[in-house]
Amino acid sequence: MDMTRNNASKGKERGIFQNPFDAAPTGPDETPLTADGTALESRGLHLYYGETHALKGIDLGMPARRITALIGPSGCGKSTYLRCFNRMNDMIEGVRVEGKVIVEGADVYRPDVDLELLRKRVGMVFQKSNPFPMSIRENISFGPRMTGVRGRGKIDEIVERSLRQADLWEEVRDRLDHSALDLSGGQQQRLCIARALANEPDILLLDEPASALDPISTAKIEETLLQLKKLYTIIIVTHNLQQAARIADLTAFFMLGEVVEVDDTTTMFTNPSEAITEEYITGRFG
Amino acid sequence: MPDSESRACSFADAGSGLPSGLPGLWITALATLAVLLMLAALLWIVAVNAFGWFWPARVSEIALDDGTIRIGIVVAREALPTIDDGDASEAHRIQLKVGSRELTRADFVWLDESEIVGGTTPEDLVRVVRSEYGDAFGRIVGAIDAAGASVDVSSGRALEGLLETGKRWHSERRGLEGERDRVRRPLTRLEERLDLLERSARAQTPQGKHEMAALETAVADEGARLASRLDGLQTDLDDLEERLRSSRLMLATGQAELEVPLGHVIEVVWANRLGFLGRCAHALRGGVLFLFTDPREANTEGGIFPALFGTVLLVLLMSVAVVPLGVVTAVYMTEYARPGMLLRLAGQAVNNLAGVPSIVFGMFGLAFFIYEVGGAVDHTFFSDKLPTPTFGTGGMLWASLTLALLTVPVVVVATREGLLAVPRNWREGSLALGATRWQTLRRIILPAAMPGILTGLILAVSRAAGEVAPLMLTGAVKLAPTLPVDGMPPFLHLQRKFMHLGFHIYDVSMQSPNVEAAKPMAFATTLVLLLLVILLNLTAIVVRRRLRRAYQGQVV
């Protein structure tokens, strides 16, 4: 497993328990967030929905400032796994988690975790775009305002920066006060990406962000993600294998709640080590 | 197209002769039609009956075969009740409103049509609307002015001048009375305090006696200070009253000659001279006056302003109380409570509360709000007024809280539905951005549930505006001397009793000393109540629509 290639030693510690309001944007210097370059990690992660054993001991690490794709057939647990990193599974009644989920070196299931700060650091974009019934500006500034950012000038700055990063600024700059619900489907999804970026997160979790979009909108999102990977650690769940092949540095193949194989994307798609991975990638099932 | 026709026939013939589903269509359509017809009939009957209250009917002069003349308005016509089954069933009788209660003791007479020899509607017949004894009908045959000189009524101008003068005196009297009350107010307040003190238990204590003596001195001083101004005003008033009493209209009613002092004349209507437009204008003016004037003569005459005001204020106060209570309950039940047996039980309890007869809420309001809470409030804050109750008796506050309790299930149920309808991905989106649950609730969920909350409010208002039973126990009265809002601090007097349209309808139609005369008034009040409920509903619907529009246009 070639997970820790960027073995840089100049990592800085920015755990979610320290400097709770230190949200300075991370520079494009490719500095890994932890000493070994792993931004996200899970060790022996088991998750149960009541009696259902959904994740069966996942051990996985994901490098900083890279795109990691999670692929696998429906119901294999990849979305559930993704939602462990910002603890969105907490919302579901009867979920039980065992093992460790480590974000920037800190276990997010520790009882003293600041949940709001965690979710600010670990942004998420959902499968179905979910802009709030407000103006574009209000949508983008929602996160910062909820976490205490004040001041019109500062907010405007955040709105512009986030929209630019999500490659939406040119399209909406003249109608920031129009309802976000008037945007097209692809624009709405990029708005959701911009909204997550407005919080200045370190990590971006994307749960099939392009599955409901047309090919042009999808291409636009992929382009955006390739730009964003210079600044952010990106984990993307996708059903679209070509998409994974196009944008991911690393790919993990999930099946029945377990990780079958994880490798460099190129290796994974040209020379997988497991037979079942090859069957899935070549479209024999899935 | 013979081809297609024959094909259609073969399809129809293939079945039992009657296309399946058609009886179902008929039955449901007929039921719907029946419901709509009943609604239309309800509105029609109320509107038509109410209209009679405002429309200036012609005044008829009817000659009977015994030589007597009756003047009045024809109200109804019906077949004469027959005792045996002879051929008398063709006979009819008419009901005539003759007014002038002081002469005949009844406003209405029944006249047998067989006794009538002639009926006309001459232009000089008038209807005199009076502040006492109800309407009078007849012909103005003379008038006397304040100086005792006779006025020539054959020239319309002189009579008009007299009536104008009468109107001016009326408004002068209102002004003088208002000023007298204003000047006297400090004295009135002192007297009220003394009166309360005398009736309270403290009057027996040495300190109470001391205070009473001080108050008595203050009353005497204040009285002496204001005496000259009050006397002056009173003299002016007496003078005006005398003029209003001595100037009179002579009205020949057919039965007798009535002397109507100008002080009693509210309006003289030459009903037979009015054209169609004149009648419309008169009806419109009557409608406006009806809404904005006080009732007279034990509520059988005049307007309904205090009842209208009381109803609107009651509904507003009820809304202010019920929305927070209902919304907070619904938020807890949907957002915080753990789903399970207990929550289901609580939900059922709330639903069943909606089915409890409203009079039961009235009893609860009386027992809990008035006796318990109101009693406690009186003991704590108004003990110097005891045994006269302040909040320990029916009033606006307790009535609106009782109604709020009555309507809270509606708000809870509608709000819960509104909350459940908020898309799950908005909640997730908000939480994923680092918002707390409370922020998500306040910024995302509650605004999105607003249409549901407003639906609840609409239903609550509709129900509350029409409730009467609980109000009879908690503070609605036949005649309230004061409005719950006035210019005296603290301006909103929630302890006061109030009038209410629903109770007014009951009172006018069942408790009135002159039911026959008050009947159209009851219908007019009903119409106002209906229109009020519709208006309140429309307002809420428009607001809800605006809000809904804000949430529409969501693509994907």
Q: Which residues pair with A46 in a beta bridge?
A: A56, A98
Q: Indicate whether B326 and B470 sit together in one domain.
A: yes
Q: Indicate whether B229 and B267 sit together in one domain.
A: no
* Cross-chain residue pair B428–A130, CB shorter than 8 Å: yes
| Residue B102: CB atoms within 10 Å | 13
Q: Does A143 touch chain B (CB under 8 A)?
A: yes
ipTM for the complex? 0.84
- The two structure tokens encoding residue B112: 């047998």
Residue B205 lies in a domain: yes
pLDDT of residue B11: 52
Q: What SS3 string covers B192-203?
A: HHHHHHHHCHHH
Residue B10 lies in a domain: no
B435 chain-A contacts, CB cut-off 8 A: 116, 142-143, 146-147
Q: Rounded CA gap, A234 and A165, in Å? A: 14
B552 chain-A contacts, CB cut-off 8 A: 181
Q: Rounded CA gap, A192 and A189, in Å? A: 5
Q: Residue B138: name the closest of B273, B256, B248 by CA.
A: B256
Q: Does A211 touch chain B (CB under 8 A)?
A: no
- The two structure tokens encoding residue B308: 């209208």
pLDDT of residue A205: 94
Check which CATH number belongs to the domain holding B391 and give it: 1.10.3720.10
Locate all alpha helices (DSSP H) within B382-484, ordered by sequence. 396-420, 424-432, 437-440, 446-466, 469-474
* Cross-chain residue pair A133–B551, CB shorter than 8 Å: yes
Please answer whether residues A222 and A210 qualify as being in contact, where contact means their C-beta atoms are separated by less than 8 angstroms. Answer: yes
Which residues are CB-neighbours of B352 under 8 A, at least 6 positions away? none
For B441, counting Cβ atoms within 10 Å of its Cβ (0-12 exposed, 13-18 middle, 19+ buried), the class is buried
User: How many Å separate Cα B520 from the centre of its chain?
Assistant: 14
> Nearest CA of chain B to the CA of A19: how many Å?
16
- Collapsed DSSP state (helix, strand, coil) of residue A204: strand
A11 has pLDDT over 60 = no
Q: Indicate whether B138 and B151 sit together in one domain.
A: no
Please answer whether residues B423 and B525 qualify as being in contact, where contact means their C-beta atoms are separated by less than 8 angstroms. Answer: no
Residue B14: HSE in the Cβ half-sphere, 13 Å Cα cutoff = 7
pLDDT of residue A36: 58
Residue B514 lies in a domain: yes
End-to-end Cα, chain A, rounded Å: 24
Q: Indicate whether B328 and B473 sit together in one domain.
A: yes
Q: How confident is the model at residue A14 (pLDDT cuts 50, 70, 90)?
A: very low
Q: Indicate whether B234 and B346 sit together in one domain.
A: no
The one-letter code for the residue type at A50 is G
* Cross-chain residue pair B430–A119, CB shorter than 8 Å: no
Residue B32 lies in a domain: no
- Collapsed DSSP state (helix, strand, coil) of residue A100: strand
Q: Rounded CA gap, B99 and B107, in Å? A: 4
Q: Which residues pair with B259 in a beta bridge?
A: B250
Residue B149: phi, psi to the nearest 5?
-80, 145
Q: Indicate whether B69 and B106 sit together in one domain.
A: yes
| Residue B9: CB atoms within 10 Å | 10
| Tens-digit pLDDT string for chain B (556 aa) | 444 444 445 554 555 555 667 888 889 999 999 999 999 999 899 988 888 778 888 898 888 888 888 888 888 888 876 666 555 557 888 888 888 888 877 788 888 888 888 888 888 888 888 888 888 888 888 888 877 778 777 777 888 888 888 888 888 888 888 888 888 888 888 888 888 777 777 777 888 888 888 888 888 888 888 888 888 888 888 888 888 888 888 888 888 888 888 888 888 888 888 888 988 998 898 889 888 888 887 777 788 899 999 999 999 999 999 999 999 999 999 888 888 889 999 989 988 888 889 999 999 999 999 888 888 888 887 776 667 777 878 889 999 999 999 999 999 999 999 999 888 889 999 999 989 889 999 999 998 888 888 888 888 888 888 889 999 999 888 887 778 877 666 777 888 888 999 999 998 888 877 777 788 888 999 999 988 888 888 887 888 888 777 665 443 2
Q: Residue B73: name the closest of B41, B103, B96, B50 by CA.
A: B96
Q: Please, what are the domains in chain A? A: 38-281 (3.40.50.300)
Q: Indicate whether B196 and B130 sit together in one domain.
A: no
Residue B202 lies in a domain: yes
Note down the domain range covering B321. 305-551
Q: Indicate whether B264 and B402 sit together in one domain.
A: no
Residue B38 lies in a domain: no
* Residue of chain A minimizing CA distance to B440: A146
> Nearest CA of chain A to the CA of B184: how many Å?
58
Q: What is the mean pLDDT of residues A238-254?
A: 91
Q: Rounded CA gap, B311 and B303, in Å? A: 14
Residue B18 lies in a domain: no
Q: Indicate whether B122 and B168 sit together in one domain.
A: no
Instruction: Name which of B431, B448, B552 is nearest A91 (Cβ-Cβ).
Output: B431
> Nearest CA of chain A to the CA of B370: how many Å?
45
Q: Indicate whether B263 and B191 sit together in one domain.
A: no
For A131, counting Cβ atoms within 10 Å of its Cβ (0-12 exposed, 13-18 middle, 19+ buried), the class is buried
> Nearest CA of chain A to the CA of B421: how many Å?
14
Q: Rounded CA gap, A41 and A64, in Å? A: 11
CB pairs A-B closer than 8 Å: 83
Which residue matches tokens 């204008």? B281
* Cross-chain residue pair B439–A91, CB shorter than 8 Å: no
DSSP conformation letters of B122-175: -TTEEEEEESSS--EEEEEEEEE-TTSPEE-TTSHHHHHHHHHHHHHHHHHHHH
pLDDT tens-place string over residues A152-193 = 889 999 999 999 988 889 899 899 999 898 898 889 999 999
Q: Residue B50: name the closest of B508, B541, B533 by CA.
A: B508
* Cross-chain residue pair A199–B427, CB shorter than 8 Å: no
Residue B313 lies in a domain: yes
Strands (E), chain A: 38-49, 52-63, 67-71, 95-103, 106-107, 122-125, 203-207, 233-237, 250-255, 258-264
Residues B491/B492/B495/B496 CA torsion (nearest 10 deg):
80
Q: Which residues pair with A96 in a beta bridge?
A: A48
Please answer whether residues A221 and A187 qualify as being in contact, where contact means their C-beta atoms are separated by less than 8 angstroms. Answer: no
Q: Does A63 touch chain B (CB under 8 A)?
A: no
Return the axis-axis angle of helices B446-466 and B501-510, rounded to nearest 10°.
Answer: 10
DSSP conformation letters of B514-547: THHHHHHHHHHHHHHHHHHHHHHHHHHHHHHHHH
Q: Indicate whether B362 and B482 sit together in one domain.
A: yes
pLDDT of residue B353: 87
* Cross-chain residue pair A143–B434, CB shorter than 8 Å: yes
Q: Residue A224: name the closest of A237, A209, A211 by CA.
A: A209
Q: What is the mean pLDDT of residues A124-133?
A: 90
- What's the alpha-carbon Rg for chain B, to the nearest Å? 32
* Cross-chain residue pair A147–B432, CB shorter than 8 Å: no
pLDDT of residue B466: 83
pLDDT of residue A237: 94
Number of domains in chain B: 3
Q: Indicate whether B204 and B273 sit together in one domain.
A: no
pLDDT tens-place string over residues A55-113 = 998 899 898 889 999 999 888 889 999 999 999 988 888 889 999 898 888 888 888 88
Burial letters for A29-47: b for 16+ Cβ neighbours within 10 Å, e otherwise?
A: eeebbbebbbbbbbeebeb
A6 has pLDDT over 70 = no
* Cross-chain residue pair A142–B443, CB shorter than 8 Å: yes
Which residues are CB-neighbours of B289 under 8 A, at least 6 positions away? B303
Which residue matches tokens 């909108």? A217
Q: Which residues pair with B93 in a beta bridge?
A: B78, B112
What percent of chain A is predicted at pLDDT more than 90?
Answer: 30
Cis (ω within 30 of 0) for the bond into B387?
Answer: yes
Instruction: Name which of B339, B433, B553 is nearest A119 (Cβ-Cβ).
Output: B433
pLDDT tens-place string over residues A20-47 = 333 334 444 444 344 457 888 899 999 9
